[in-house]
Amino acid sequence: MKNLAPAIFPPKGIGDAKPANKAVLDWVQEIAKLTQPENIFWCDGSEREKDFLIAESVKQNVLIELNEKKVPRSYLHRSSPNDVARVEQFTFVCTRTKEEAGPTNNWAEPGETYAKLQELLRGAMRGRTMFVIPYIMGPADSPLAKIGFEITDSKYVVLSLRIMTRMGQIALKRLGNDPDAEWNRGVHSLLDVNPERRFICHFPQDNTIISVGSGYGGNVLLSKKCLALRIGSYLARKQNWMAEHMLILGVESPEGHKHYVAAAFPSACGKTNFAMLIPPAHFKGWKVTTVGDDIAWMRIRDGRLYAVNPENGYFGVVPGTSNKSNSNAMRSIAHDTIYTNVALTDDGDVWWEGKDGGPPAHAIDWRGNDWTPQSTEKAAHPNSRFTTPMRNNPALDPDVEKGEGVPISAIIFGGRRSDTVPLVYQAFDWNHGVYLGATMASETTAAATGAVGRVRRDPMAMLPFCGYDIGDYFQHWLDIGKQLTNPPLIFNVNWFRKGADGKFLWPGFGENMRVLKWIIDRCEGSGGALKSPVGWLPGPHDLDLAELDIDHNAVDELLCLDHEEWQKEIAAHQEFFDSLGGVVLQELQKQREQLAAGFQP
């Protein structure tokens, strides 16, 4: 199998950045004893190390070098066709009791799970190299920063983590040699990339993650979903901060007034596009900048929420990315990028469905087979990805490295809903906003294996990522609200509402600036709104739609509340709450009753 490349032997000065911390060394020895690798490679994050690992990966076919003129210093990786997305059904939260994991997580007993994983890992790295990757999540000097170590037998993971985190010496330095320092233990092995032996297991009480049997990013870049969200959310509750599946963007008016907003949309619902939004010509002088595109860590300071992006790069969905949908992303991925599961053109470039220009006459598809426009299969997998440093983003926010974070004026929830949910509305207050987040739903996407297009409740876009009981998570949101004297306003958006003809009513992408502008107006106390049963809705003239080619009926449809649809929606909220058993809080039930009362005839 192409992923299971044999050991590599670096020259002196590469792969020998052994940490000074004894607790780390002991843990690495323990894992090495179990997995029995040929050798241990201690990563330092240097350029020399990168060059060496890339050269070896190309030699061993783990990476394919792309045309230097078309996409400089960029590579294509093909994962096993059975391993192309997150596997929620094989993802476990192994708290001491089932109740602590709650009704939305797969729970497994920690002792038994460790024993099972140990058996799978026994001798798993024989004849191979074991990499030890130290990394920091968050700006190095942030009070929110966390240190993690990932042990892996995949060079693709090392090279990806080098992009996605602050990796190497910087983390070793920050950790120092305090044996009691807090750090996350992550172990990953490809094993034989067999779905039968694929488990992504979290042990929040031990700050430990073990992932086996996969090479796909969301399952194996342990810094991201596993540490920054599942373990992160568990730590956040214990330590009174928030770990959320949210992008963070800055929006600056021509007069230089700046706000930051954080937005929680489920996987593959446009977080990266929104975070990199380019305002349409009508919004001359307005600027949107990116702090993060997937994860926000937030803490309370002076009665406000401040956010940092714990990541250092973007792991984004490729298909559909174009100069029209997201030209900042196109510029970001034009160089120094690792592509996974896109198509390879005959001149060594990459191609995917939705890329600018027509399809190539011939390409090699994501599985490595010949492809032409007549093929019935997609050339790029719908969940094919780019891994690119955030430094590549021309719209990167200047305060992205600020340890204290950026102050959040608004939180936005949103899902992919063909009907029912208006383009935008504002919660009456924090607790009502928590209800909006807790009941949000979205049509499923290719980011996880399973059916696509099915409406499922995805509270705060955290359904697959909350590392503990969801009822306690809702309570944590309410508790945080009580501590904020200047809380962010909370909004809900839906870019995906469709008309009777099945077509999207809203143009989306850059035009979402019009919605963002209303949100900013509301934060500044200047935007108009009408009170409705679901929250504050913009009136017909409150959204700036100048120079937008949109039918008035479409705008009415986008903002309307259909009573029948909402009766169904409110019933679905109750059904969802019922499915959670006893965990739903009185406060949220009260919010539901108020909402229902608003729709009484």
- Positions that interact with ligand OXD (CB under 6 A): 86, 218, 267, 294, 315, 447
**Pick 217 or 405: Cβ nearer ligand OXD:** 217
Q: What is d(CA 589, CA 97) in angstroms, rounded to the nearest whole number?
A: 26
Residues in Cβ contact with 552 at an 8 Å cutoff, skipping those fewer than 6 apart: none
Looking at 262-270, 387-395, 400-408, 519-527, which segment touches Mn ion (CB under 5 A)? 262-270
Nearer to ligand OXD, 279 or 292 (CB): 292
User: 351, 334, 339, 349: which is closest to 392 by C-alpha?
Assistant: 334
Site size toward Mn ion, by CB under 5 A: 2
Smallest separation, CB 284 to Mn ion (Å): 32
Residue ranges of the alpha helices (H) in 14-78? 22-35, 47-59
Distance (Å, whole) CA 412 – CA 404: 21
Angle made by CA atoms 234, 236, 238, in degrees to the nearest 5: 75
* Least separation in angstroms between CB 368 and ligand OXD: 23
Count Cα atoms within 13 angstroms, Cβ side, for 436. Answer: 30
220/555 with CB nearer Mn ion? 220
Task: From 5-13, 176-184, 266-274, 413-421, give the range in contact with Mn ion by CB under 5 A.
Answer: 266-274
Closer of 95 and 267 to Mn ion (Cβ): 267
CB nearer to ligand OXD: give 305 or 447.
Answer: 447
| Dihedral over Cα of 161, 166, 172, 177: its sign | negative
Shortest CB 294 distance to ligand OXD, Å: 5
Q: What CA–CA distance (Å, rounded) separates 339 from 589?
A: 45
493 strand-pairing partners: 414, 424
Longest dimension (CA), the chain: 78
**Pure H helices in 230-334:** 232-239, 271-275, 323-332
| Residue type at position 122 | R
94 is catalytic: no
**Could you tell me if 414 and 245 are in contact, meaning their C-beta atoms sit under 8 angstroms apart?**
no
384 touches, from Mn ion, ligand OXD, none (C-beta below 5 to 8 Å by class) = none
Return the bridge partners of 106, or none. 92
Nearer to Mn ion, 113 or 267 (CB): 267
Min CB(316)–Mn ion separation in Å: 9
Nearest distance from C-beta of residue 245 to Mn ion, angstroms: 6
- Secondary structure (3-state) at 137: strand
Give residue 69's region: left, alpha or beta (phi > 0; psi -120 to 50): alpha
Question: From Mn ion, ligand OXD, none, which one binds at residue 315 (CB under 5 to 8 Å depending on kind)?
Answer: ligand OXD
- Residue 103 CB: number of other CB atoms within 10 A? 16
CB of 296 to ligand OXD, least distance (A): 13
Cβ proximity to Mn ion, 294 vs 365, nearer residue: 294
Phi, psi of 560 (to 5 degrees): -80, 155
Which amino acid makes up residue 562?
D
Q: Which of 49, 83, 100, 294 binds Mn ion (CB under 5 A)?
A: 294
* 218 touches, from ligand OXD, Mn ion, none (C-beta below 5 to 8 Å by class): ligand OXD
Q: Binds 518, which of ligand OXD, Mn ion, none (CB < 5 to 8 A, cut-off by type)?
A: none
414 binds, among Mn ion, ligand OXD, none (CB under 5 to 8 A by kind): none
- Among Mn ion, ligand OXD, none, partner that 447 touches (CB below 5 to 8 angstroms by kind): ligand OXD
Residue (44 or 294) nearer to Mn ion, CB: 294
| 443 part of the interface to Mn ion, by CB under 5 A | no
User: What number of residues does the chain have?
Assistant: 601
- 324 Cβ contact list (under 8 Å, min separation 6): 356, 509
**DSSP-derived secondary structure for 461-502:** G-TTT--S-HHHHHHHHHHHHHT-SSPPEEEEE-TT-B-TTS
Which amino acid makes up residue 225? K
| Of positions 95, 223, 267, 445, contacts Mn ion by CB under 5 A | 267
Beta bridge partners of 75: 65, 338
* Placement of tokens 């940490």 in the chain: 19
Q: Residues 201, 269, 466, 523: which is the catalytic one?
A: 269
Which helix (H) or strand (E) element contains residue 120? helix 110-121
Helices (H), 270-335: 271-275, 323-332
Contact 120, 191 (CB under 8 A): yes
CB of 450 to Mn ion, least distance (A): 16
86 binds, options Mn ion, ligand OXD, none, Cβ within 5 to 8 A by partner type: ligand OXD
User: Min. distance of Cβ 266 from Mn ion in angstroms?
Assistant: 8
- Which residue has the closest beta carbon to ligand OXD? 267
Identity of the residue, 134 or 266, whose beta carbon is nearer to Mn ion in the bound complex: 266
> What does 517 bind: Mn ion, ligand OXD, none (CB cut-off 5 to 8 Å by kind)?
none
Rg (CA), the chain: 24
CB of 315 to ligand OXD, least distance (A): 6
Q: What element of type H or E holds 184?
A: strand 184-189
Q: How far is the CB of 267 from ligand OXD (least distance, A)?
A: 3
Return the number of the residue (86 or 417) whose C-beta is nearest ligand OXD. Answer: 86
| Positions that interact with Mn ion (CB under 5 A) | 267, 294
The residues that are catalytic are: 269
